[in-house]
Structure 1
Amino acid sequence: MLAPGLQVVFCGLNPGLTARRDGHSFSSPSNRFWRLMHLAGFTPRLLRADEERDLLEFGCGITAAVARPTRSAAELRTGDYLAAAPDLEVKMRRFGPANLAFLGKAAFSAINGRSDCDWGRQNVVFEGARTWVLPNPSGLNRAFSLDRLVGYYRCLKAEI
């Protein structure tokens, strides 16, 4: 779900099986993406996954690094990200967002060949977009509390 000239595109690793079944991004009840969008100030109200198109009104879009759905992103390998990178490049050139936020380090690291990235803004421009690496909002990512996630996402919001 993209449109030209967005402030930020959130790039998930790949769709989950729930998203494939429901037809909406981040639709698993355990995924914290929609709460994060609201709590970090990207949306004025809490959106549901079936309202994902409304995110465009707030200057935000969603895409995935790899189109193939899996139960867990751990099923993806570096080769999956590298094979999908040309499609992501085409999307970013076509839509020209100001910022591209990778949700998790795996896709950014594989595509850019950098295993040393930290959370936050990166010193890499991806097809004209400033890049960010934010913790993945998946409910499977138990290393980050909701409060910690909100803090990282608010850092991006403050700079756009």
Structure 2
Amino acid sequence: MTDLEWARDRTIPDVVGPGLDVLFCGINPGLYSAATGHHFARPGNRFWPALHRSGFTPRLFHPSEQEALLPLGLGVTNIAARATARADELTRDELRTGAATLTALVERYAPRVVAVVGITAYRTAFDRPKAVIGPQPERIAAARLWVLPNPSGLNAHYQPAALAAAFRELRESL
């Protein structure tokens, strides 16, 4: 048992409001994020650097500054709310239920774009086994849908520059 095991199954609040340009949607909180109450909080997670390097934020934000995203037209949520040590601990049913919950959130707040951060979780949650990174042909409610690479430091397929480029492509599409 890790020292963060106490954070298992905890949830963290969404950073969301009306009028967002982009609602970023992670897979689920990790234990470190649940312990801190901040999205993408584990040191080594590249979400915050990718946001900055792609031009979404004027400087590199610390996860504790997540509320500063709202005035920039950005928000953060997750497909599955409960914290786990690894995303593969989530069941297919949890991810599909999370997709329905995300759809309701998008209907309520009407962001322009929903950007799911993690292709494998997106494929499972939305039953799109052949989806690729980038814009998707379907929408979530009225929002355009985009899939970005998982910013976890464990994702060796996308190094920081390539991750920032994927985020920049989304930003430039706005």
| Amino acid paired to 2:27 | L
Bigger mean CA deviation after superposition, 77-86 or 119-128:
77-86
Residue 164 (structure 2) pairs with residue 150 (structure 1): yes
Q: Distance in 2 between matches of 1:30 and 1:83?
A: 29
Q: Distance in 2 between matches of 1:25 and 1:116?
A: 27
Identity over aligned pairs, percent: 39
Aligned length, in residue pairs: 160
Runs of 4+ with deviation above 4 angstroms: none
| Amino acid paired to 2:30 | G
With structure 2 as the length reference, what TM-score do the two structures score? 0.89
The answer for the alignment partner of 2:140 in structure 1 is 126
Asked whether the equivalents of residues 15 and 67 of structure 1 are also in contact (C-alpha less than 8 Å), the reply is yes
Asked whether the equivalents of residues 13 and 106 of structure 1 are also in contact (C-alpha less than 8 Å), the reply is no
Bigger mean CA deviation after superposition, 128-137 or 103-112:
103-112
User: What is the RMSD of the two structures over their aligned residues, measured on CA atoms?
Assistant: 1.0
| Amino acid paired to 1:8 | V
- Deviation at residue 112 of structure 1 after TM alignment: 2.4
Q: Distance in 1 between matches of 2:75 and 2:162?
A: 22
- Deviation at residue 89 of structure 1 after TM alignment: 1.4
Q: Which runs of 5+ in 2 are unaligned?
A: 1-14
Residue 17 (structure 2) pairs with residue 3 (structure 1): yes
The answer for the alignment partner of 2:50 in structure 1 is 36
SS at match of 2:106: helix
The answer for the alignment partner of 1:22 in structure 2 is 36
Q: Distance in 2 between matches of 1:68 and 1:22?
A: 14
With structure 1 as the length reference, what TM-score do the two structures score? 0.96
Q: Which runs of 5+ in 1 are unaligned?
A: none
